[in-house]
Amino acid sequence: MAFYEPLGGGRFRSTPATAGPWSPETQHAGPVAALLGRAFERHEPAPGLRVARITVEIFAPVPVADLSVAVRTVRPGRRVQFLDGELTHDGRTVVRASAWRVAAAPDGLEPLRNAPAPPPLPASATPLTTWPGAHVGGYLSAMEWRFVHGSFDKLGPAAAWGRATVPLVADEQDSPLVRALVVADTGSGIAGEIDLASHLVINTDLTVALHRDPVGEWIFMDGAMHADPGGGGLVETVLGDASGRVGRGLQTMLVDRR
């Protein structure tokens, strides 16, 4: 099992593992973001450059169906490149994305503002508990979660370790960027502080900026939500690995009464 099966020519078949908690017919944005991140990494590979930031704009719910991915270089360069990508279904764009590829910092640079390492990985998985009516047979079941504090069925903030138990694309090994992106969109899921029974709370986008690539299969998330009447919602998620912080996720949230 994998999140996607390659069909060739930039086309992929979505498996049931991509389905999000809202419906078995629409995808969680984690695999979607990771599929675009994979495409950015593989587009006209440039030695010495790494994807430092990716922003995913969600135009419409992504169906669990066949998808096409296309990437182009908008701003070429030897040390800095800007890429644009899109995800389409039946010729309709459902997700747009952009990424900066930046030259890796030189050896010998002293790390700055090293944060303490995240709390240790708990010894056992956290039982999968969610809100009533959630679809747990897709993405949520394809992931393993170990909460440091909080849980899916409690209002946040929360901190947890997560990893995918299946690869993004069948018969491939996930890159560090892919592992981070598969997990990062769940920041809003663990950090939510608004009752989903009375309010609609969904993210319109996901931005992930990494100052270094994560090491290992487990990604640490420490998420918090901000929301104000007359304004909107915002989720900030610190991302890390066993050695310390690796970057940050940011999500703009639509908040409305049901």
pLDDT in tens, 3-60: 999 999 999 999 999 999 889 999 999 999 999 999 999 999 999 999 999 999 999 9
Q: Are 101 and 46 in contact (CB under 8 A)?
A: yes
Among left, alpha and beta (phi > 0; psi -120 to 50; other), residue 133 is left
Upstream peptide bond of 157 is cis (omega within 30 degrees of 0) = yes
Q: Say if strands 80-89 and 199-203 run parallel, antiparallel, or are unpaired.
A: unpaired
CA–CA gap between residue 214 and residue 89 (Å, rounded): 31
Mean pLDDT calculated for residue range 232-256: 92
CA–CA gap between residue 61 and residue 64 (Å, rounded): 10
pLDDT in tens, 61-120: 999 999 999 999 999 999 999 999 999 999 999 999 999 999 998 888 777 776 778 999
For the chain, percent of residues with pLDDT exceeding 70: 97
> How many CA atoms lie within 13 Å of 124's alpha carbon, on the beta-carbon side?
3
Angle at 178 between CA 62 and CA 49, to 5 degrees: 120
Q: What's residue 177's pLDDT? A: 98
> How many CA atoms lie within 13 Å of 245's alpha carbon, on the beta-carbon side?
17
Q: What is the pTM of this model?
A: 0.95
Is pLDDT above 90 for 164?
yes
In sequence order, the β-bridge partners of residue 202 are 254
For residue 92, give the nearest of 61, 55, 134 by alpha carbon.
Answer: 61
Domain boundaries of the chain, sorted by first residue: 4-104+128-257
Residues with Cβ within 8 Å of 44's Cβ and at least 6 positions away in sequence, in order, are 73
Mean pLDDT calculated for residue range 185-192: 88
Is pLDDT above 80 for 229?
yes
Q: Confidence band (pLDDT; 50, 70, 90) for 130?
A: low
Of all helices (H) and strands (E), which one includes residue 184? helix 176-184
- What is the rounded average pLDDT for all residues in the chain? 92
Q: Confidence band (pLDDT; 50, 70, 90) for 137?
A: confident
Task: Name the token pair of 95.
Answer: 């997700």
CA–CA gap between residue 153 and residue 170 (Å, rounded): 31
107 DSSP 8-state letter: T
For residue 14, give the nearest of 190, 142, 131, 173 by alpha carbon.
Answer: 142
Residues with Cβ within 8 Å of 218's Cβ and at least 6 positions away in sequence, in order, are 121, 161, 162, 163, 241, 242
Question: Which of the residue ranges 122-126, 141-145, 230-234 would you say has the lowest mean pLDDT?
Answer: 122-126
Q: Confidence band (pLDDT; 50, 70, 90) for 129?
A: low
Q: What's residue 69's pLDDT? A: 98
Angle at 242 between CA 160 and CA 158, to 5 degrees: 15
CATH 2.60.40.10 is held by the domain 4-104+128-257 = no
Q: What's residue 131's pLDDT? A: 65
